Amino acid sequence: MTTNSAVVLADAASYAAAVEEATRAAAAYYATGESTLDDDAYDRLARGIAAYEEEHPQEVLAGSPTGKVAGGTATGDVPHTVPMLSLDNVFSAEQFVTWTASVERRIGRPVTAWSVEPKLDGLAVAVRYHEGRLQQLITRGDGTAGEDVSHAIGTVLGLPERLEDPVTLEVRGEILMTDEQFDAANAARTAHGAAPFANPRNGAAGTLRAKDRPYRVEMTFFAYGALALPGSGGLAETLTGLPHSEILRYVAGLGVHTAADTAVAPRTAATAEEVRAGVEDIAAQRATLPFGIDGIVIKADLAADQRDAGTGTRAPRWAIAYKLPAVEKVTRLLGVEWNVGRTGIIAPRAVLEPVEIDGSTVSYATLHNPADITRRDLRLGDRVMVYKAGDIIPRIEAPVAHLRTGDEKPIEFPESCPRCGSAIDTGEQRWRCTRGRDCRLVASVSYAAGRDQLDIEGLGGTRVVQLVDAGFVTDFADLFTLERDQLLGLERMGETSTDNLLAAIETARTRPLSRVFCALGVRGTGRSMSRRIARHFATMDRIVAADAEALQQVDGIGKEKAAGVVSELAELAPLVAKLVAAGVNMTEPGATPPPEPGAVREEEAEAGEGAAAGGRPEGLPLDGMTVVVTGAMTGALEKLSRNEMNELIERAGGKSSSSVSKRTSLLVAGEKAGSKRTKAEDLGVRIAEPAEFAEMVGSFLG
């Protein structure tokens, strides 16, 4: 678990630097929530500091955060009647077992009952009620004295101004922002030109201290304790004697909010087994809770057990925080992709600098809709707080605005549908391609007709839109059964253009299998992969019949991709059948199919030892060669696109590649060849001019 690793400090200088950095971060964290470190980074630093101090006890600096509430950085001038402490941590079931054993050793008997409750991820506050009236709100501060933040009264849900009973007591608990309150807070802030909060905890920290803001931001209080104050009278004795669980019930009865009404309500457990079940249940709920938790707090429930366990300077000995792995990390927003869904919804997706969160690498995050980007004032290059828990889709909480450098760039929104090029309906929060469900159809037909696929001249984007809108085409196989009259009926389609288009479609019927296969648009099978597949299997029948294992015989297809291709092809079976029925070519010229498993094919038996492994006939001019093309082609090759050059190379038995390396056998270098030529020269790779190459592959050119 990453949460458990520490920064390794090699010497006194790096120790001192670490203390300084941690102190600076903690001061910012507790004051405004604007630390430069995420919690995971801070915790690793703090653990590194503690480890160094353990090894070098005589070098401990006075300013060290170790063993201090709030790392020693928070202050206050309102004394606490009873110290307001932090909690010690465990990170695993084993550490927890060790901890319980130490508590039970200390008290000399088994703990009677445990309370298992969520560790709410906000800020601790003490709330003083006098004769039932809410009087004062105080932060934890350094544990002995906190800051008066009573100005926040009225903005915190869960803290009634008046209790059900006119009692005098101090309620302790956590102030946080729910996800909903966090979103509302950031909307209010950005609307007022203020930078958004990076995450709900920072939002709560910043808001609790802020005065005189032109907007109101709401937070929520959860009580997890109560104690007597001077003037509590008989209540004092009751509160010191009640089990923790009863105290929670009591304050809830007074009208103060607790976690009792949430999916992670506090529970009591009598056995280690029950504690574990409670921990697991709360951890499992984490991803779907409407507020943040960063662990589970386990407390000895009975007052007598607590008293006997005692209290340390930083934390009580009768309670522990079972920390869950960090689910938030700071990383960089590199870009925004715009994807079009099945119904034409155009959804932005954040491309992130990959970051490890909760055991997985996160490279993308959801952004919902364009308004969401604007509302949260996200910019390219921003450092962002990314949240990922359980199976949920990672999301960006907000930019970490105080880490901006000024080099961040605005995010550009698309002006037309990124898939089919049609107009975008921006009337709703979620943008939509005006073609709706037909968007995919327009895009897939345009793709199939494209130069590197079926190469149907005269069938550009607007023509495809016309055909789709007229209902003549529901997939690209329908192109092959278009009638002359249908085309003539379309706007701006004269006799000549109609006949030209029909002729182009006729030609498309005879394209090699590699082109037809590519036109299907199977994910991960672009031009060169399609050529490899077509050459390997030679016929569409064989491709369609291939299982994942057979597909993996093709260069560049791994297990995962093979499975994807198989399942997509299964879905495409009706389209393939339609193409076959329309008389579209389904074979790859010059390719011979692989041998059936177990069978020795005749030609191979005849050819004997020398037969190429893939069943490829011998004696092709580029056999075994890897060829790269660069620069402008001339002479016989002038008209060929790069894709057509690559097809030519593969027809002639070679392998096409786009980059020059030691493995390159030949570079075809045309005019204006640049860095590839230089590299080939450096590596001593053979170089051929277009004319020379045309001669080498002469018979395959036609």
Q: Catalytic amino acids?
A: 119
- Cβ proximity to ligand NAD, 38 vs 377, nearer residue: 38
Nearer to ligand NAD, 397 or 650 (CB): 397
- Told to check if 445 binds Zn ion by CB under 5 A, we report no
The entry of ligand NAD, Zn ion, none that residue 431 binds, CB within 5 to 8 Å by partner kind: none
CB 349 within 8 A of CB 374: no
Output phi, psi for 128, to 5 deg.
Answer: -100, 125
Beta carbon nearer to ligand NAD, 250 or 338:
250
Residues 6+ apart with CB under 8 A from 503: none
Residue 433, annotated as binding a ligand: no
Tell me which of Zn ion, ligand NAD, none is bound by residue 34, counting a contact when its beta carbon lies within the kind-specific cut-off of 5 to 8 angstroms.
none
Q: Does 387 bind ligand NAD (CB under 6 A)?
A: no
Options 86, 220, 446, 530; binder of ligand NAD; rule CB under 6 A: 86
Q: Is 439 annotated as a binding residue?
A: yes
Q: Smaller CB distance to Zn ion: residue 431 or 700?
A: 431
677 belongs to the binding site for Zn ion (CB under 5 A): no
420 is in an annotated binding site: yes
CA-closest candidate to residue 204, choices 161, 155, 160: 155
CA atoms in the 13 A half-sphere facing the CB of 348: 23
The residue among 73, 31, 20, 76 whose CA lies nearest residue 402 is 31
Neighbours of 280 (CB within 10 A): 12
* Contacting range for ligand NAD; rule: CB under 6 A; set: 29-37, 442-450, 536-544, 693-701: 29-37
Closest CA to 588 of 545, 542, 547, 555: 542
State yes or no: residue 439 binds Zn ion (CB under 5 A). Answer: yes
Which structure tokens are listed for 33?
A: 């929530």
Spatial CB neighbours of 175, under 8 Å, sequence gap ≥ 6: 122, 123, 125, 152, 156, 204, 208, 219, 220, 221
Which pair of structure tokens corresponds to residue 87? 């909690």
Order of strands, sheet of 626-630, starting from the edge strand that comes earlier in the sequence: 655-657, 626-630, 666-669, 686-688
Q: 527 CB contacts (<8 Å, ≥6 apart)?
A: 452, 518, 643, 646
CB of 85 to ligand NAD, least distance (A): 7
Find residue 32's DSSP bridge partners.
Answer: none
> Which range, of 101-109, 117-125, 207-215, 613-621, touches ligand NAD by CB under 6 A?
117-125
Among 29, 96, 114, 517, binds ligand NAD (CB under 6 A): 29
Non-local CB neighbours of 242 within 8 Å, separated by 6+ positions: 250, 303
- How near is the Cβ of 67 to ligand NAD at its closest, in Å? 11
Q: Which does residue 119 touch among Zn ion, ligand NAD, none (CB within 5 to 8 A, set by kind)? A: ligand NAD
**Window 379-438: residues binding Zn ion (CB under 5 A):** 417, 419-420, 422, 433, 435
Number of amino acids touching ligand NAD (CB under 6 A): 22
Q: Which of ligand NAD, Zn ion, none lies near 25, with the C-beta cut-off 5 to 8 A by kind?
A: ligand NAD
- Closest CB to Zn ion among 90 and 433? 433
Q: Which partner from the list Zn ion, ligand NAD, none does 117 bind, CB cut-off 5 to 8 Å by kind?
A: ligand NAD
Q: Which is nearer to ligand NAD, 38 or 183 (CB)?
A: 38
Site string for ligand NAD, 278-317 (x = CB under 6 A): -------------------x--------------------
Choice from 7, 87, 550, 685 touching ligand NAD (CB under 6 A): 87
Work out which of 71, 278, 316, 512 binds ligand NAD, going by CB under 6 A: 71
Residue 390 and residue 575: Cα distance in Å, rounded?
38
Residue 29 binds which entry of Zn ion, ligand NAD, none, CB below 5-8 Å type-dependent: ligand NAD
Task: Identify what 637 binds: Zn ion, ligand NAD, none; CB under 5 to 8 Å per kind.
Answer: none
- Choose which of 156, 321, 518, 620 interacts with ligand NAD (CB under 6 A): 321
| Among candidate residues 436, 437, 584, 420, the one with its CA nearest the CA of residue 518 | 584
Query: Does 26 participate in binding ligand NAD (rule CB under 6 A)?
Result: yes
**CA-CA distance, 66 to 19, in Å (whole number)?**
9
Tell me the CB-side half-sphere exposure of residue 643, using CA atoms within 13 A: 16
Which residue blocks in 56-178 are alpha helix, DSSP H?
93-107
Rounded CA separation 34/250 (Å) = 36
Q: State the nearest-atom distance from the C-beta of 262 to Zn ion, in Å.
A: 42
Place of tokens 């020059």: 660
Query: Applying CB under 6 A, which of residues 18, 23, 34, 39 lies at the interface with ligand NAD?
Result: 39
Structure tokens belonging to residue 389: 């828990």
From the list Zn ion, ligand NAD, none, partner contacted by residue 26 (C-beta under 5 to 8 A by kind): ligand NAD
User: Is there a contact between 268 and 113 (Cβ–Cβ < 8 Å)?
Assistant: yes
User: From CA 553, how far away is CA 547, in angstroms rounded?
Assistant: 10
Question: Is 417 labelled a binding residue?
Answer: yes
CA distance 689 to 692: 5
Residue 384 structure tokens: 């962002």
What's 595's DSSP letter? P
Residue 225 neighbours by CB under 8 Å, 6+ apart: 171, 172, 173, 244, 247, 248
Establish if 43 lies at the interface with ligand NAD (CB under 6 A): yes
Where do contacts with ligand NAD occur on this chain (CB under 6 A)? 25-26, 29, 35, 37-39, 42-43, 70-71, 86-87, 117, 119-120, 124, 140, 174, 224, 297, 321
Where do contacts with Zn ion occur on this chain (CB under 5 A)? 417, 419-420, 422, 433, 435, 439
The annotation places the binding site for NAD(+) at 39-43, 86-87, 117, 140, 174, 299, 323
